[in-house]
Amino acid sequence: MKILMVCLGNICRSPLAHGIMQHLAEKKGLNWQIDSAGTGNWHCGKAPDSRSIKVSLSYGLDISTQKARQFQLSDFEEFDHILVMDQQNYKDVISLATHQEHINKVQLFIPNGFVPDPYWDDTQFKPVYDLIYARSEKLLQELLKSEEGAIR
């Protein structure tokens, strides 16, 4: 299974989701490919935000080797599931879709909700980490339970 996590700049939320889901999948012995990308190109090639790195390290998870990249059209073909952190990310990603099959791969990471962007508030990195971790645990179970690998 190939899963892509997407946020705005690929330095705060999606690197956390990428690292957490990769960790959970590895703990279960799953050979899943997890990656992350941003809808914008401001941080391409850079490591995650130092605050995302710090909060993940406080939980024993090192995301410091990840490098930001921008979402690209080929991601629709490469990944089975494209999970976006908020409605604007959703709109930005599906605006690049060339057919319905692409759109069908894109879903909100939190169904009917969103992951707040902690970039402007240092105090929000831990709550965002906790939110992403809790959702990632549920998402992993949903994917494992579904014979087709579809998210419910």
Catalytic positions, please? Answer: 7, 13, 117
Which residues on neighbouring strands pair with residue 106, listed in sequence order?
Answer: 82
Q: Contact at 8 Å (CB) between 26 and 37?
A: no
The SS3 of residue 111 is coil
How far lies 8's CA from each of 5, 25, 86, 109, in Å?
Answer: 11, 24, 9, 13
Here the contacts of 22-25 (C-beta below 8 Å, separation 24 or greater) are: 23/61, 24/136, 24/137, 24/140, 25/140
Residues 8, 82: Cα–Cα separation, whole Å = 14
